[in-house]
Amino acid sequence: MPVFYGVEVASPLMLGTAQYPSPAILAEAFRASKAGIATVSLRREQGGGQDFWSLVQGLGARILPNTAGCHTVKEAVTTAHMARELFDTNWIKLEVIGHTDTLQPDVFGLVEAARILTGDGFQVFPYCTEDLTVCGRLLDAGCQVLMPWGAPIGSGLGINNAYGLRSLRAHFADVPLVVDAGIGLPSHAAQAMEMGFDAVLLNTAVAHAGDPAAMARAMALAVEAGRAAHEADPMEPRDMAAPSTPVIGKAFLS
């Protein structure tokens, strides 16, 4: 199971809590997913009030507050401090959005905010790109986890840059890595885990499914299958065919 900041979580599936049709469907989806971590936006919690907070506490998952929707360093840092007071945790998923249409992180602001928050005692989970230099700067800033995107948030496009993510996994072999955003299908989640990532974080693919609980269950199975496949040391792809039936002992007709 993945370990983040010295804490082992129950599952490599991390699930968001936004946009579900109802609180009851949210709870049902989480039960089906057996997710180890639930991400919660401070803005979402304020909208739902005490009833929503009580629901989240009953999900059986560790809470990871999120600075979703923040576009400046000051806004993200302030939101993180408010979240720590509200949720009583030093964990924070740090988002500093730089582009409105793609929701791509502002990597310059992200590194600055990460440095400030780690200095304030936070354990930061930065939502970032797969850029090796940016990720190195985030580690230098004190982050011990990296959360590169698979594709833009809510797009469901899956793994857009497999080469970049594989390079990141190889370069930071000992750092916990989570593919965050863009996962739309169980096959996308399985692919991320097959590549050796420690976990996947998704929300929209489950919340917007016709049957969120069924999709949550499918994602849980996909993550489990992907992790098992990675641990099995899969074969490397070949350019040419290789016979599966041995030639030795084959009968030859004259």
**Tens of pLDDT, residues 93-132:** 999 999 888 889 999 999 999 999 999 999 999 999 999 9
Residue 125 included in any domain: yes
Residue 171 included in any domain: yes
Q: Which residues are annotated as a binding site for 1-deoxy-D-xylulose 5-phosphate?
A: 154, 181-182, 203-204
Residue 173 — very low, low, confident or very high, per pLDDT cuts 50/70/90? very high
Residue 200 included in any domain: yes
Per-residue pLDDT of 50-109, as tens digits, reads 677 788 888 888 999 999 999 999 999 999 999 999 889 999 999 999 988 888 999 999
Q: State the Cα angle at 60 between 81 and 68, rounded to 5°.
A: 35
Residue 254 included in any domain: no
Residue 237 included in any domain: no
Residue 91 included in any domain: yes
- Neighbouring C-beta atoms of residue 221, cutoff 10 Å: 15
Q: Where do the H-state alpha helices sit in the chain?
A: 23-33, 42-57, 73-87, 107-119, 132-140, 162-171, 186-194, 204-207, 212-231
Q: Which residues are annotated as a binding site?
A: 154, 181-182, 203-204
For residues 67 and 86, is the Cβ–Cβ distance under 8 A? Answer: no
* Gap between the Cα atoms of 202 and 88, Å rounded: 23
Active site residues: 93
Residue 176 included in any domain: yes
Residue 148 included in any domain: yes
Count of the separate structural domains present in the chain: 1
Phi, psi dihedral angles at 76 (to 5 degrees): -65, -45
| Domain enclosing residue 99, as ranges | 3-232
CATH of residue 214's domain is: 3.20.20.70
* Gap between the Cα atoms of 73 and 64, Å rounded: 19
Enter the pTM of the model: 0.90
